[in-house]
C-alpha cells in the first residue's frame, strides 16, 4: 500500500461523506485534511441553497474554515446535541477502532463525536492498519506534572513518549506514546483514561463508529459499516 496518498483521495472521501448530512441536522465537524473536504462540500451545498444545517467545530482551524464557507457554527453548549459527527482518523483497524489526534484535536473530537448518535469517519486507504499502534497514540496532558504522566504511560508499555512542540487548542501539552502493536485497544484505552493528568487520549473505540468512508488511489470510494462486521 502507498504511504503517500494523492490529495484527490482525501477529497473524494471527504466529499462522499457529506451525503449523510441532510437539511435540519446539527452536525459536528472534525479536524484535518480529509474532513476539510466534507466541510467544503457542506459549505458549497449551503451557499447554493440546497442545505440548511447548524454545526459545531472540533478545532479553531475547523471553525475558521466552516465560517469562511458560510456555515453557521455554534459552541457545543449552544448547539446542545448533534445528529451526526464526521471526522478523519490516523489509523483504522479491522474492527473500526481508531487512532486520532494527529492534529492534536482529539479531546474536542471525542467530546463532539460522543454528542452524536452517528459518527462517520473519512479516510484514505493509507489509514487502514491490521492493528493500531504504528502511528503512535496521541495524548493531551495537563502542564502540571508531564514527567510523572509520561512515566505512568511508559509503565503501561510505551517504549517512548515524546512531547510535541505544539499545544492543543485547550492550551495543554501534546504527547505521542509508542506502544508498538496495540493488541487490546479497549484495555489500553481504559488504562490511559485512569491516569490523572491525561486530559484525553487518541484511542477511539469501535463502538463509537457508525461507518468509515474510504477513498482509494484509483478514485473509488467504499464504506465499511460497523453493523456489517
Ligand atoms: C486531528 C485528527 C485528524 O482527524 C487526523 O489526524 C486525520 O487527519 P487527516 O485527514 O489530515 O489525515 O485526529 O486531531
Nearest to 212 by CA among 125, 130, 134, 114: 125
Instruction: State the catalytic residue, choosing from 41, 63, 91, 109.
Output: 109
To the nearest whole percent, how much of the chain has pLDDT over 70? 97
| Residues in a beta bridge with 128 | 92
Mean of pLDDT values over 3-20: 85
Report the distance separating Cα 131 and Cα 182, nearest Å. Answer: 6
Query: Which ligand 1 atom is the nearest neighbour of the CA of 101?
Result: 14
Of the pLDDT bands very low, low, confident and very high (cuts 50, 70, 90), residue 199 is: very high
Of the pLDDT bands very low, low, confident and very high (cuts 50, 70, 90), residue 75 is: very high
Residue 136: CB within 6 Å of ligand 1? no
Q: Which residues fall within 8 angstroms of residue 7, CB to CB, at 6 or more apart? A: 33
Query: Which ligand 1 atom is the nearest neighbour of the CA of 87?
Result: 4
Residue 127 CA to ligand 1 center (angstroms) comes to: 10
Residue 14: CB within 6 Å of ligand 1? no
CB atoms within 10 A of CB 194: 10
pLDDT reported for residue 218: 86
pLDDT tens for 163-190 read 999 999 999 999 999 999 999 999 999 9
Our answer to whether residue 109 is catalytic in this structure is yes
**SS3 category, 67:** helix
Nearest to 42 by CA among 74, 1, 72, 64: 72
Of the pLDDT bands very low, low, confident and very high (cuts 50, 70, 90), residue 95 is: very high
Residue 33 CA to ligand 1 center (angstroms) comes to: 7
Residue 56: CB within 6 Å of ligand 1? no
Residue 36 CA to ligand 1 center (angstroms) comes to: 10
Instruction: For cell 449552544, name the residue.
Output: 78
| pLDDT over 50 (residue 29) | yes
Of the pLDDT bands very low, low, confident and very high (cuts 50, 70, 90), residue 3 is: low
Set of cell numbers at residue 75: 459552541
- Considering the chain, what is the average pLDDT of its residues? 96
Residue 32 CA to ligand 1 center (angstroms) comes to: 4
Residue 102: CB within 6 Å of ligand 1? yes
Of the pLDDT bands very low, low, confident and very high (cuts 50, 70, 90), residue 6 is: low
Report the distance separating Cα 122 and Cα 87, nearest Å. Answer: 6
pLDDT tens for 78-92 read 999 999 999 999 999
Give the domains, in start order, of the chain with CATH numbers: 7-126+206-219 (3.40.50.1360), 137-200 (3.30.70.260)
Amino acid at each position: 500500500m502507498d504511504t503517500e496518498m494523492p490529495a484527490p483521495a482525501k477529497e473524494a472521501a471527504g466529499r462522499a461523506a457529506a451525503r449523510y448530512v441532510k437539511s435540519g441536522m446539527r452536525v459536528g465537524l472534525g479536524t484535518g485534511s480529509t474532513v476539510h473536504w466534507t466541510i467544503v462540500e457542506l459549505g458549497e451545498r449551503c451557499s447554493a441553497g440546497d442545505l440548511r444545517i447548524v454545526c459545531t467545530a472540533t478545532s479553531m482551524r475547523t471553525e475558521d474554515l466552516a465560517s469562511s464557507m458560510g456555515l453557521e457554527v455554534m459552541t457545543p453548549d449552544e448547539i446542545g446535541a448533534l445528529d451526526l459527527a464526521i471526522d478523519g482518523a490516523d489509523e483504522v483497524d479491522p474492527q473500526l477502532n481508531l487512532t486520532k489526534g494527529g492534529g492534536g484535536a482529539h479531546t474536542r473530537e471525542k467530546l463532539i463525536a460522543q454528542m452524536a448518535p452517528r459518527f462517520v469517519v473519512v479516510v484514505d486507504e493509507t489509514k487502514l492498519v491490521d492493528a493500531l499502534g504504528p502511528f503512535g497514540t496521541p495524548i493531551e496532558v495537563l502542564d502540571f506534572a508531564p514527567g510523572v504522566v509520561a512515566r505512568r504511560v511508559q509503565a503501561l508499555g510505551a517504549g517512548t513518549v515524546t512531547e510535541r512542540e505544539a499545544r492543543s487548542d485547550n492550551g495543554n501539552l501534546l504527547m505521542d506514546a509508542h506502544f508498538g502493536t496495540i493488541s487490546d485497544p479497549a484495555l489500553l484505552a481504559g488504562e490511559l483514561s485512569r491516569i490523572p493528568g491525561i486530559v484525553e487520549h487518541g484511542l477511539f473505540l469501535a463502538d463509537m463508529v457508525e461507518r468509515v468512508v474510504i477513498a482509494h488511489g484509483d478514485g473509488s470510494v467504499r464504506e465499511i459499516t460497523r453493523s456489517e462486521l
